[in-house]
Structure 1
Amino acid sequence: MPARVPEAGPVALGDVVRELTSRADPRRLRRDVEILADGPRSRTRAPGAMLRAEAHVAAELAAAGRPAGRQPFDVRWRPGSTDRRGHRALPLRFRLHPRLTGANLLAEPPAGVRRPTVVVGAHLDTVDAAPGADDNASGVAALLEVARLLGGMPNPPDVTFMVFDMEELGLIGSRFAAQWLRRNREVTGMICLESVGYFTAEAGSQRMPPGFGTAFPRVATAVRSAGLRGDFTLLVHRRSTRAAAALWHGAARATEPALPCVTLCDPRPQGPLGALAGLAVPALAHLDRSDHAAFWNTGIPALMLTDTANFRNPHYHRPTDTPDTLDYRRLTAVAVATAATVTAMIPGVPPR
């Protein structure tokens, strides 16, 4: 994901962050989460709620000047996972799906489809019986705020917004989307917003999966030295998105107050070999637990932003994952840092 660092360096990026912050509104994000997380939403288990959530997202994107269309898919015999509720960290609760019919939402740049684009994406569905405020109404709310912030710029960057279906069934919607984009669009990279709204300063609140300290000693040391506090955003990237990750980290530092960020570089290659390595090494498999992995496996550079879900949030995949548990000030900072990053990633959009 090539990134254009602003000519004036960190000061210019900070100016962008400050200008976006002046227009961002945590109350909008809270309203989005409250509307989306009024109950479970699923194409298979709660289709009515899913349609209502879709309608809200489409209306907000249209109001931001990014009208969205439905991208239906009908797939057969797809390996995936179950969307039954459960708090255990299971990267792949295997299930073979004979047939799944769903739809992503796609909002393309106003400039059309001929220029390179960056995709900002988040999944809309939840597991059974969970309202999914953090997983993943928080990600969708951040995406909507990014669309609003970019829509207020005089020269909006060529960003494509995608809201994915059936992530909880095994990245079904994003796998379809990544393959379609690979064939039909020039995508320079993708940013995935996955469970980005739960933060706590309580010491010992942050956990790590087994083997994580051995696989990623630098990251584990940083988290432990901060008292295992779950007050940061984890940014997972690969070598292809190192520059974009540095931009996001810099933008997060420029928010007020600064949003703590821990970066983790996944050492695997793009494509199928990286996916196979994840199946073989459990610590790596945890890095594949959202829609960015579908883009990695298709060869499209991607990065993921997350609060680490079940390794921090006690409400993960439970009925208690409700809007009142989220930190909307920090969630707004995630949206601002993401919007600032994409303005610097795409050539021809000067920092303001």
Structure 2
Amino acid sequence: MSSQHSADRPTRSTRRTFLTASAAAAAATVAAPLAAAPAAALEAGPPPGPGRPARPQQPDRELSVLLREVDRDRIEATVRRLAAFGTRHTLSNQDDPIRGIGAARDWIFAQLSGYAAASGGRMTVELQSYVQEPASRIPTATRITNVVATLRGDSSPGRTYVITGHYDSRATDVMDAVSDAPGADDDASGVAVLMELARLLATRHTEATIVLAAVAGEEQGLYGSGYLAKQLKAAGVDVQGMFSNDIIGSSTADDGTRDPRAVRLFAEGVPTAETPAEASTRQSVGGENDSPSRQLARFVSDVAENGATGMGVRVIYRRDRYLRGSDHISFLREGWPAGRFTEPNEDFAHQHQDVRVVDGVQYGDLPEFCDFDYITRVARVNGATLWSLAQAPGTPKGATIVTTNLTNDTTLRWQRGDEPDLAGYEVVWRETTAAEWQKVIAVGDVTEVTVDLSKDNVFFGIRAVDRDGHRSPVAFPKPGS
């Protein structure tokens, strides 16, 4: 393994001698004080080759405190309050102070504004509205309003991470704006998670910016999240990760199957925004499993599968479920990495069902069918993810792997980040048949490295590390010269 700036390239013989010393120095420079997980956490032993085994990132002290403060009772109260509006259908009454989507909108705005008041001006809350002209599932011009809380980062405010839950609901008939549609699981549960995290984050300082948005119009066609994503794109915001929390209220399926310690995270492969030429290049050099969204999902598993959250993250290599779609798709369409959190087993007997009693059995998406301990654990997964992203350096940009030389080593290049606490970089690698990164090599504060390992045989990635040991998501390098 070797490490050097592009302007200083020693010969091959001296380079290999230099590499050994450089690796030792770099390891000391980028040494992470975060506790390492036990080796038993790995599914199999790492392959032979340069570097040390890759280990999950454990919570720092501030994150551990934050996760302990996630309040189950507040989450339950939020779900019950949202369900009590009767219906939150996008086409329901927007001016009734008691029932309908307008009443829910105003309540969410008031709650988030109260949390923001404790932020010292760092968190702002807005009603982001537009009029949707007639379209699919929108028969008449309809005002759609997102409630958006933005916590501005201290040192890297331009870098942004987003989570959403949709506060609209529906009955069996997606066009029925009158019948009761409490929407406890779908998706008061997701809104409750983002509201609880807004409360906890408002009093804390983060390096990057976090957006927590309760969006509308999801059931009618992702209208609210589509508008939010387009507004962020038009403003030139650098969105480096987004998560939709949609149907995270229970782990129990309609047949009684339970998996209370797991949450699914859907992550697409080859990005939809890629051109055919880019997709063809990716297929020819490998990396079908290395989209930015999949790297983001690996990051979530790395930082959120631990005793502090009490959860496992089951990454699903798909954009979303069959016949379904959530608000992360709006961000994927803009070319940003995004994923969807959802419960491991769905109860279709209650989802999108009208509130009724049949043979003594109550149906409908009611709070009684939610598991509030489960939602609390999903909130901790989200909290661990957001905090770890916002406190770490950004994902390295401009990552390339030199493919124009016939050699048995590998040269990687990338752009240096501008974070004030940036300590350096790590190269990660894995066998082409492995799903997770297996080895890591500390290379120091450089922008080029040559590794004594053939690019033909393994996959490489680059991630940034700060002085406190926080690691960024991995950047998968594109072929270059």
Same fold (TM over 0.5): yes
Q: How far did residue 27 of structure 1 move?
A: 0.2
Please, which of 137, 140, 147 is the counterpart of residue 105 of structure 1? 147
- Whether the 8 Å contact between 2:165 and 2:244 is mirrored in structure 1 is yes
Q: How far did residue 62 of structure 1 move?
A: 2.0
- Whether the 8 Å contact between 1:12 and 1:351 is mirrored in structure 2 is no
- 11-20 vs 36-45, which moves further: 11-20
Q: Paired residue for 1:210?
A: none
- Partner letter of residue 337 of structure 2? P
Please, which of 294, 297, 317 is the counterpart of residue 265 of structure 1? 317
- Whether the 8 Å contact between 1:123 and 1:140 is mirrored in structure 2 is yes
- 56-65 vs 168-177, which moves further: 56-65
Q: Which has the higher contact order (CA 8 A, sep 6+)?
A: 1
Cα distance per residue 1:62-84 (max 9 Å; x no partner):
232234211111132434xxxxx
Q: Paired residue for 1:342?
A: 386
Quote the Cα distance in structure 2 between the aligned partners of 1:159 and 1:12: 21
Q: How far did residue 149 of structure 1 move?
A: 2.2
Q: How far did residue 54 of structure 1 move?
A: 1.5
User: Structure 1's 61 and 75: CA in aligned 2 closer, same or farther, altered over 3 A?
Assistant: same
Quote the Cα distance in structure 2 between the aligned partners of 1:21 and 1:300: 27
Q: Paired residue for 1:164?
A: 215
Q: How far did residue 14 of structure 1 move?
A: 6.6
- Partner letter of residue 316 of structure 2? L
5 Å-filtered alignment, 1:1-352, equals 8=34, 9=36, 10=56, 12-13=58-59, 15=61, 18-38=64-84, 39-47=86-94, 48=96, 49-65=100-116, 66-79=123-136, 95=137, 97=139, 99-111=141-153, 115-128=158-171, 129-155=180-206, 157-184=208-235, 185-200=237-252, 205=256, 229=259, 232-238=262-268, 239-255=291-307, 258-266=310-318, 286=322, 289-307=325-343, 311-318=346-353, 319=355, 320-346=364-390, 347=393
Quote the Cα distance in structure 2 between the aligned partners of 1:75 and 1:11: 43
Structure with max Cα Rg: 2
* Unaligned 5+ runs, structure 2: 1-31, 37-55, 117-122, 172-179, 269-290, 356-363, 394-418, 420-465, 471-481
Cα distance per residue 1:203-222 (max 9 Å; x no partner):
9545xxxxxxxxxxxxxxxx
User: Structure 1's 155 and 179: CA in aligned 2 closer, same or farther, altered over 3 A?
Assistant: closer
Quote the Cα distance in structure 1 between the aligned partners of 2:384 and 2:87: 32
Which is strand-richer, 1 or 2? 2
Secondary structure of 2:311's match? coil
Quote the Cα distance in structure 2 between the aligned partners of 1:45 and 1:159: 30
User: Structure 1's 59 and 156: CA in aligned 2 closer, same or farther, altered over 3 A?
Assistant: farther
- Partner letter of residue 35 of structure 1? R
Quote the Cα distance in structure 2 between the aligned partners of 1:307 and 1:300: 23
Quote the Cα distance in structure 1 between the aligned partners of 2:61 and 2:220: 41
Backbone CA RMSD of aligned residues: 3.0
User: Structure 1's 351 and 205: CA in aligned 2 closer, same or farther, altered over 3 A?
Assistant: farther
Quote the Cα distance in structure 1 between the aligned partners of 2:129 and 2:92: 18
- Partner letter of residue 187 of structure 1? V
| Percent identity of equivalent pairs | 26
Secondary structure of 1:175's match? helix
Secondary structure of 2:211's match? strand
Q: How far did residue 330 of structure 1 move?
A: 1.5
User: Structure 1's 12 and 103: CA in aligned 2 closer, same or farther, altered over 3 A?
Assistant: same
- Whether the 8 Å contact between 1:107 and 1:160 is mirrored in structure 2 is yes
Quote the Cα distance in structure 2 between the aligned partners of 1:16 and 1:122: 25
Quote the Cα distance in structure 2 between the aligned partners of 1:178 and 1:287: 22
- Whether the 8 Å contact between 1:70 and 1:105 is mirrored in structure 2 is yes
User: Structure 1's 306 and 186: CA in aligned 2 closer, same or farther, altered over 3 A?
Assistant: same
- Whether the 8 Å contact between 1:252 and 1:261 is mirrored in structure 2 is yes
Quote the Cα distance in structure 2 between the aligned partners of 1:11 and 1:96: 45
- Whether the 8 Å contact between 1:157 and 1:343 is mirrored in structure 2 is no
Question: Structure 1-normalised TM-score?
Answer: 0.74
Cα distance per residue 1:153-211 (max 9 Å; x no partner):
244641011111111101111111111111112211211110111122x79545xxxxx
Q: How far did residue 327 of structure 1 move?
A: 1.2
- Whether the 8 Å contact between 2:244 and 2:341 is mirrored in structure 1 is yes
- Whether the 8 Å contact between 2:124 and 2:151 is mirrored in structure 1 is no
- 300-309 vs 103-112, which moves further: 103-112
Cα distance per residue 1:227-267 (max 9 Å; x no partner):
x757631111132122332333344432457223311123x
- Whether the 8 Å contact between 2:67 and 2:383 is mirrored in structure 1 is no
Quote the Cα distance in structure 2 between the aligned partners of 1:251 and 1:333: 14
Quote the Cα distance in structure 1 between the aligned partners of 2:312 and 2:57: 18
User: Structure 1's 351 and 155: CA in aligned 2 closer, same or farther, altered over 3 A?
Assistant: farther
- Whether the 8 Å contact between 1:192 and 1:304 is mirrored in structure 2 is yes
User: Structure 1's 139 and 351: CA in aligned 2 closer, same or farther, altered over 3 A?
Assistant: farther
Q: How far did residue 99 of structure 1 move?
A: 3.1
User: Structure 1's 130 and 251: CA in aligned 2 closer, same or farther, altered over 3 A?
Assistant: farther
- 298-307 vs 9-18, which moves further: 9-18
Secondary structure of 2:58's match? helix
User: Structure 1's 46 and 127: CA in aligned 2 closer, same or farther, altered over 3 A?
Assistant: farther
- Partner letter of residue 262 of structure 2? F
Quote the Cα distance in structure 2 between the aligned partners of 1:59 and 1:33: 16
Secondary structure of 1:117's match? strand
* Unaligned 5+ runs, structure 1: 1-5, 80-94, 207-227, 269-283
- Whether the 8 Å contact between 2:63 and 2:387 is mirrored in structure 1 is no
Secondary structure of 2:231's match? helix
- Whether the 8 Å contact between 1:123 and 1:167 is mirrored in structure 2 is yes
